């Protein structure tokens, strides 16, 4: 029983990331009808928002401490981050320690603006073009973004540790230990997912968006300014992906190709969940995350070698062939 | 001739001429001159031009004609490479059986993957092929290690059986790939004044294979089969109500293009007998998509141009570094020189992928027909200018 | 015994009975029109005939063979061609190529791997296609990109693509929907011409009365998924039940 629980818990963090990225992909696809291959790059940029903030907070000035010497016998140079000198050493250190959660505040505006610019500047011109063109241009954009990050941050992963308070392990009932940050990540994901659903369910804006997802033409005919809403939806989807990236840093150190790695899997998630279905995307995200975790157990890998590597693709292929609409897809969405 | 009309024959002959004279054409700068680094006429790179040309020609038969965008074609290339290396290990170092096997195995692979993937179309098809390719990649990397040698990649060793050849040469080293005795890495150097041209056996073998592949592609494009494939891209609904079953047509196109990829993989292994899983990764599949789009999907010559261009930039662009730049811009005032170099820096050397990505986006946005369309537009512009000039002269004449 | 026999066809979509016990018999070499108000089930019936939908119960026989469970391309190979409401043609191909494709389908069946021989060597096919285009006065447009044709010409081209297969039954789905009066009249003339020149059975789904009465030999009126009456055009015109179903309250 415990073993099963552990595997479910292990699947939750990856599942959360899948669900968040897939949610954004589905929002974009459902409202704008655009297949966005650059969505993984948005996830990565989110993660690098955390890296950037961490670097900004660690900006320091050097002072020479005349009383101490380093091991070469020269006066010791002490680096003091500006934040520590502004807010005092204790508060300053705490701010640096909490840089990842703080990066959420930093990432929201960055990702929103990024999303707006991307939609207005590029995606807008591709609404009427074939899906293949959309895939291609966003694929190109993903390469560009990835290379820009690589040029600025290097090719190696950069550690973005969780705050000390949240970085240990927790003991959940008899002997099951689990990293605290993963619990945080899951709760965070649940919060964001809940927030997005509430936004769509309870606001007028959300109502229009849902109507647009159900029947785009009619909503256009009602004289509702769809364009502006599309832009906002794109920004929102970008922010969701970005936040997923920010908080994922402590689980896996951000690197420039994390976006591409997640993108392929997220598309698979979207397809399994059903193109255009938000609950489907979330459900499939968690289901696949947990399945992946079960497939990684020694029992599974000894029974069927390599199953952990291919389980997600295998499930996707089976689902696509038996239930072309995915788990919760509606009729008429991309059924060609 | 060759069952082609005049236009296609001219195209084939031009391509043949360019490929066969490539060692000259790609080496326009004398060795030792400052521009020598732009020479691309060395065997290794020229082989890559034509091998990726074959890969892109094959991809274009699927994507250019039917519009089915596969994101998993690198898997077939990888499979082809593995098959060829195994042939070198088990049978002999002759490249013919190796290439034949790679084409067959890649074809079988494509048959299975295509049979399943082609049950869906549009974005679903792209994702299915992507999933299959990533699956093959993951398996080649881990579980299939006995066949693929995992991360290290499959290589030749001294104790391979090689039934029809020797396990090792007389001096105790691994034998080299050959075509009935003609070693692939053998080359003839020709010095002509300050110029130095290399004629490599491997390159010419690849070039001949590419010309055959290109010729076959022209025939397919101009055949009733090719017309059906274009009809599928244009209106599949109408095709079904016209009494044609689109499934076997698309499957045939998929298998043919998979075999082209296998051929490319086999050739790659014939030039350098090793095979690694990274050749199957989806970014490698993305690369052939880039080549085809950049050159012009659906055109005959486009994919070859695209492949050549990307491989050229990959090798030449990535070699330019800041020192070279400083050398070029030395005539500028110091501050401006540094600024220029700093501005260009991100796009060269290791940053060439960035240049590629930007170029690719620009092509998709402004020039969906790729370089071929660009060329046509320029031609049209000239023609129009000439036409207006003619009109003007005509208009003047009566006045005289 | 008609060339097309529909017996007891039912089709439900969820709670909606789209077709209820439809019986229909189309006699050879006649033009049979199926009319009815919007939502009467005309399109559903047509989709059952061409293999896009499978009825819940009932049978559809063509020349004594069942079409049910066959795919659209198989049904076409049996000798049924269809014209769409908005012309469906191969827009990226030339007009001549558009007509050659159905010729290939007729000659070679649903699939043939002729990947090496050039199209230009297929003299017979090309001549047949050209003759067809000539017949419909489109020979001069043979090298045009078919997407750039006018709407009327697209309709003509689609007709050519169907006729070149010499189908035994031609199904037309509202061939004049959304057309201006002049275009409608042209289409009527075209269809009349086809009817006179060839031995062909046509089944037209239409709600434009003008079209129906100019062409049809026999009319079936469909209302709420069931055939109301089947008769000659003259009798249909005077039938009060039809007026009621079709025009609502009679004047």
DSSP state of A70: -
Split at pLDDT 50, 70, 90, the class of C247 is low
The answer on pLDDT for C207 being more than 80 is: no
**Four-residue CA torsion sign, B17, B20, B22, B23:** negative
Closest Cβ–Cβ partner in B220, B224, B231 for C93: B231
B360 neighbourhood in chain A, CB within 8 Å: 136, 139-140, 143
Split at pLDDT 50, 70, 90, the class of B198 is confident
The answer on pLDDT for C249 being more than 60 is: no
Please indicate, yes or no, if residue A327 is contained in any of the structural domains.
no
Split at pLDDT 50, 70, 90, the class of B342 is confident
Split at pLDDT 50, 70, 90, the class of B39 is confident
Strand-pair partners of B198: B189
- Say what the pLDDT of residue B393 is: 63
The answer on pLDDT for B21 being more than 70 is: yes
Tell me the CATH number at A89: 1.10.3470
Best mean pLDDT range from A58-62, A173-177, B235-239? B235-239
C97 in contact with B, Cβ within 8 Å: yes
Proportion of chain B above pLDDT 90, given as a percent: 42
Across the range B267-285, mean pLDDT stands at 88
Count CB neighbours of B331 within 10 A. 6
B4 neighbourhood in chain C, CB within 8 Å: 118
- Say what the pLDDT of residue B138 is: 85
Domains and CATH numbers, chain C: 4-247 (3.40.50.300)
CB C10 within 8 A of CB C56: yes
Please indicate, yes or no, if residue A331 is contained in any of the structural domains.
no
**In this structure, what token pair is assigned to residue C178?**
């959304």
d(CA C219, CA C233): 6
Answer yes or no: do B357 and A144 touch at CB < 8 A. Answer: yes
**Four-residue CA torsion sign, B45, B48, B49, B50:** positive
Answer yes or no: do B356 and A143 touch at CB < 8 A. Answer: yes
Closest Cβ–Cβ partner in C113, C115, C118 for B3: C118
CB C112 within 8 A of CB C199: no
Across the range A255-281, mean pLDDT stands at 85
Show Cβ contacts of residue B22 under 8 Å, excluding neighbours closer than 6 positions: B41, B46, B49, B203, B207
C43 or A174, greater pLDDT: C43
B294, closest residue in chain A (CA to CA): A136
The answer on pLDDT for B17 being more than 60 is: yes
Split at pLDDT 50, 70, 90, the class of B396 is low
Across the range A137-145, mean pLDDT stands at 90
- Say what the pLDDT of residue B173 is: 85
Ranges A170-179, B389-398, C94-103: which has the least confidence: B389-398
- Say what the pLDDT of residue A328 is: 78
- Say what the pLDDT of residue A334 is: 47
Q: Tell me: the pLDDT tens digits for A36-93?
A: 889 999 999 999 999 999 888 888 888 877 777 777 777 777 778 888 878 877 888 8
Give, in order, the Cα–Cα distances in Å from A313 to each of A13, A252, C238.
19, 22, 65
B133, closest residue in chain A (CA to CA): A313
Proportion of chain B above pLDDT 70, given as a percent: 97
The answer on pLDDT for C251 being more than 60 is: no
Q: Which helix (H) or strand (E) holds A269?
A: helix A258-273
B233 neighbourhood in chain C, CB within 8 Å: 92
Q: DSSP states of C126-164 as a string?
A: HHHHHHHHHHTT-GGGTTSBGGGS-HHHHHHHHHHHHHT
- Say what the pLDDT of residue A42 is: 94
Proportion of chain C above pLDDT 70, given as a percent: 97
C77, closest residue in chain B (CA to CA): B243
**In this structure, what token pair is assigned to residue B174?**
């691994």
Q: Which residues of C152-174 are buried (b: 16+ CB within 10 A; e: fewer)?
A: bbbbbbbbbbbbbbebbbbbbbb
The interface pTM score, or ipTM, of the predicted complex is 0.90
Split at pLDDT 50, 70, 90, the class of B25 is confident
The answer on pLDDT for A169 being more than 60 is: yes
Q: Tell me: the pLDDT tens digits for B83-108?
A: 999 999 999 899 999 999 999 999 99
Strands (E), chain B: 154-155, 178-179, 182-183, 187-192, 195-200, 274-275
Proportion of chain C above pLDDT 90, given as a percent: 38
The answer on pLDDT for C161 being more than 90 is: yes
User: Is the backbone of residue A73 left (phi > 0), alpha (psi -120 to 50) or beta?
Assistant: left
d(CA A143, CA A40): 11
Ranges B187-191, C163-167, C169-173: which has the least confidence: B187-191
- Say what the pLDDT of residue A1 is: 60
Split at pLDDT 50, 70, 90, the class of B333 is confident
Q: Which helix (H) or strand (E) holds B379?
A: helix B370-399
Ranges A180-189, B49-58, B164-173: which has the least confidence: B164-173
Provide the whole-model pTM. 0.88
Please indicate, yes or no, if residue A298 is contained in any of the structural domains.
yes
- Say what the pLDDT of residue C250 is: 42
C162 or A216, greater pLDDT: C162
Q: Tell me which residue range forms the domain holding A31.
A: 2-322
Q: Give how many domains chain A has, as a whole number.
A: 1
CB A80 within 8 A of CB A219: no
Domains and CATH numbers, chain B: 6-281 (1.10.3470)
Split at pLDDT 50, 70, 90, the class of B313 is confident
- Say what the pLDDT of residue A198 is: 92
Question: Which chains touch A (3+ CB pairs under 8 A)?
Answer: B
d(CA A275, CA A273): 7
DSSP state of A330: P
Show Cβ contacts of residue A60 under 8 Å, excluding neighbours closer than 6 positions: A79, A80, A81, A82
A309 neighbourhood in chain B, CB within 8 Å: 135, 138-139, 141-143
The answer on pLDDT for A335 being more than 50 is: no
- Say what the pLDDT of residue A336 is: 43
A137 neighbourhood in chain B, CB within 8 Å: 361, 364-365
CA A67 to chain centroid, in Å, comes to 48
The answer on pLDDT for A213 being more than 80 is: no
Please indicate, yes or no, if residue A329 is contained in any of the structural domains.
no
C123 in contact with B, Cβ within 8 Å: no
C165 in contact with B, Cβ within 8 Å: yes
- Say what the pLDDT of residue C88 is: 92
Across the range B311-329, mean pLDDT stands at 80
Across the range A297-320, mean pLDDT stands at 81
Show Cβ contacts of residue B73 under 8 Å, excluding neighbours closer than 6 positions: B55, B58, B59, B62, B129, B133, B257, B258, B261, B285, B288
- Give the gap in angstroms from C-alpha B365 to the nearest C-alpha of chain A: 7
B351 neighbourhood in chain A, CB within 8 Å: 147, 151
- Say what the pLDDT of residue A215 is: 72
Split at pLDDT 50, 70, 90, the class of C115 is confident
CB B90 within 8 A of CB B162: yes
**In this structure, what token pair is assigned to residue C91?**
């827009």
The answer on pLDDT for B64 being more than 80 is: yes
Answer yes or no: do A141 and B361 touch at CB < 8 A. Answer: yes
CB A42 within 8 A of CB A32: no
Answer yes or no: do A310 and B135 touch at CB < 8 A. Answer: yes
Across the range A7-19, mean pLDDT stands at 86
A268 neighbourhood in chain B, CB within 8 Å: 127, 131
- Say what the pLDDT of residue B394 is: 58
Answer yes or no: do C111 and B245 touch at CB < 8 A. Answer: yes
A267 in contact with B, Cβ within 8 Å: yes
The answer on pLDDT for B392 being more than 70 is: no
Closest Cβ–Cβ partner in B227, B244, B252 for C73: B244
Answer yes or no: do A316 and B131 touch at CB < 8 A. Answer: yes
Cβ pairs bridging B and C (under 8 Å): 112
Across the range B242-257, mean pLDDT stands at 95
- Say what the pLDDT of residue C125 is: 92
The answer on pLDDT for B112 being more than 90 is: yes
How far apart are the two ends of chain A, measured CA to CA in Å?
A: 43
Question: How big, in percent rounded to 5, are the helix, strand and coil portions of chain A?
Answer: 70, 5, 20
Best mean pLDDT range from A230-244, B137-151, C232-246? A230-244
The answer on pLDDT for B3 being more than 80 is: no
Question: Please, do chains C and A touch (3+ CB pairs < 8 Å)?
Answer: no
């Amino acid at each position: 029983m415990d073993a099963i629980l552990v595997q479910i818990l292990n699947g939750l963090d990856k599942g959360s990331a899948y669900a968040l990225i897939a949610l954004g992909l589905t929002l974009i696809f459902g409202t704008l009808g655009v297949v966005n291959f650059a969505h993984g790059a948005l996830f990565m940029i989110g993660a690098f928002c955390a890296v950037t903030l961490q670097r900004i907070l660690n900006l320091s000035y050097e002072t020479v401490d005349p009383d101490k010497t380093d091991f070469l016998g020269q006066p010791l140079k002490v680096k003091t981050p500006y934040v520590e000198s502004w807010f005092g050493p204790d508060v300053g250190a705490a701010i640096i320690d909490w840089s990842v959660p703080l990066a959420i505040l930093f990432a929201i505006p960055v990702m929103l603006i990024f999303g707006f610019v991307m939609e207005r500047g590029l995606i807008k011109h591709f609404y009427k073009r074939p899906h293949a063109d959309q895939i291609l241009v966003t694929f190109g954009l993903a390469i560009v973004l990835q290379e820009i990050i690589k040029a600025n941050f290097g090719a190696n992963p950069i550690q973005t540790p969780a705050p000390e308070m949240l970085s240990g392990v927790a003991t959940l009932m008899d002997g099951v230990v689990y990293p605290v940050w993963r619990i945080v990540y899951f709760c965070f994901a649940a919060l964001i997912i809940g927030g997005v659903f509430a936004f769509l369910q309870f606001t007028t804006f959300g109502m229009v968006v849902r109507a647009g997802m159900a029947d785009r033409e009619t909503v256009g005919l009602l004289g509702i300014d769809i364009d502006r809403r599309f832009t906002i939806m794109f920004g929102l989807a970008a922010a969701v992906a970005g936040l997923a990236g920010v908080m994922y840093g402590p689980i896996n150190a951000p690197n420039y190709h994390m976006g591409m790695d997640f993108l392929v899997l997220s598309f698979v998630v979207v397809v399994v969940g059903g193109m255009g279905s938000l609950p489907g995307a979330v459900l499939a995200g968690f289901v696949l995350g947990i399945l992946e975790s079960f497939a990684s157990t020694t029992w599974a890998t000894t029974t069927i070698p390599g199953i952990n590597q291919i389980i997600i693709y295998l499930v996707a292929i089976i689902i696509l062939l038996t239930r072309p609409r995915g788990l919760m897809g509606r009729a008429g969405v991309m059924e060609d | 001739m060759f069952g082609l009309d005049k236009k296609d024959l001219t195209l084939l002959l031009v391509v043949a001429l360019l490929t066969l004279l490539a060692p000259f054409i790609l080496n326009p700068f004398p060795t030792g001159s400052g521009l020598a680094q732009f020479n691309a006429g060395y065997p290794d790179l020229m082989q890559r031009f034509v091998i990726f040309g074959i890969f892109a020609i094959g991809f274009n038969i699927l994507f250019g004609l039917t519009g089915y965008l596969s994101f998993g074609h690198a898997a077939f290339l990888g499979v082809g490479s593995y098959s060829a290396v195994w042939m070198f290990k088990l049978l002999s170092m002759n490249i013919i059986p190796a290439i034949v096997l790679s084409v067959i195995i890649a074809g079988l692979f494509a048959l299975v993957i295509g049979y399943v993937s082609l049950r869906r179309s549009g974005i679903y098809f792209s994702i299915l092929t992507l999933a299959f390719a990533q699956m093959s990649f993951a398996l080649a990397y881990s579980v299939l290690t006995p066949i693929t040698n995992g991360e290290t990649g499959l290589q030749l060793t001294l104790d391979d059986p090689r039934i029809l050849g020797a396990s090792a040469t007389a001096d105790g080293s691994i034998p080299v790939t050959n075509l009935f005795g003609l070693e692939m890495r053998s080359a003839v150097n020709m010095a002509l004044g300050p110029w130095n041209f290399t004629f490599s056996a491997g390159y010419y073998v690849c070039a001949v294979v590419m010309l055959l592949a290109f010729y076959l592609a022209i025939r397919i494009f101009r055949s009733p089969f090719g017309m059906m494939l274009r009809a599928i891209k244009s209106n599949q609904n109408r095709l079904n109500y016209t009494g044609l079953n689109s499934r076997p047509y698309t499957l045939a196109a998929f298998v043919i293009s998979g075999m082209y990829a296998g051929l490319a993989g086999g050739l790659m292994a014939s030039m350098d007998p090793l095979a690694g899983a990274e050749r199957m990764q989806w970014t490698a599949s993305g690369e052939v998509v880039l080549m085809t789009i950049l050159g012009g999907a659906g055109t005959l010559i486009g994919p070859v141009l695209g492949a050549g261009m990307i491989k050229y930039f990959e090798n030449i662009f990535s070699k330019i570094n800041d020192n070279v730049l400083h050398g070029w811009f030395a005539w500028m005032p110091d501050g401006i020189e540094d600024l220029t170099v700093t501005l260009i820096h991100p796009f060269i050397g290791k940053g060439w992928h960035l240049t590629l990505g930007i170029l690719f986006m620009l092509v998709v946005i402004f020039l969906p027909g790729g370089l071929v369309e660009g060329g046509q537009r320029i031609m049209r512009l000239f023609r129009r200018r000439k036409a207006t000039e003619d009109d003007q002269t005509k208009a003047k004449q009566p006045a005289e | 015994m008609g060339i097309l026999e529909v017996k007891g066809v039912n089709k439900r979509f969820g709670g909606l009975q789209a077709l209820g016990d439809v019986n229909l018999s189309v006699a050879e070499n006649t033009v049979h029109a199926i009319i009815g108000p919007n939502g009467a089930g005309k399109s559903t019936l047509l989709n059952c005939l061409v293999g896009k939908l499978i009825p819940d119960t009932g049978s559809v026989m063509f020349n004594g063979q069942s079409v049910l469970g066959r795919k659209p391309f198989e049904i076409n190979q049996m000798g049924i061609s269809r014209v769409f409401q908005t012309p469906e043609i191969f827009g990226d191909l030339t007009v001549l190529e558009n007509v050659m494709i159905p010729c290939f389908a007729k000659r070679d069946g649903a699939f043939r791997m002729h990947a090496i021989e050039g199209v230009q060597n297929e003299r017979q096919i090309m001549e047949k296609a050209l003759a067809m285009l000539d017949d419909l006065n489109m020979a001069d447009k043979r090298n045009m990109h078919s997407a750039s044709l006018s709407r009327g010409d697209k309709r003509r081209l689609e007709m050519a693509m169907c006729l070149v297969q010499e189908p035994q039954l031609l199904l037309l789905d509202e061939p004049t929907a959304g057309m201006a009066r002049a275009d409608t009249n042209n289409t009527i003339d075209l269809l009349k011409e086809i009817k006179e020149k060839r031995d062909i059975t046509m089944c037209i789904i239409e709600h434009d009365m003008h079209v129906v009465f100019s062409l049809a030999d026999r009319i079936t009126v469909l209302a709420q998924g069931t055939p109301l009456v089947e008769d000659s055009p003259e009798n249909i015109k005077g039938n009060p039940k039809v007026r009621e179903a079709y025009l609502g309250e009679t004047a």
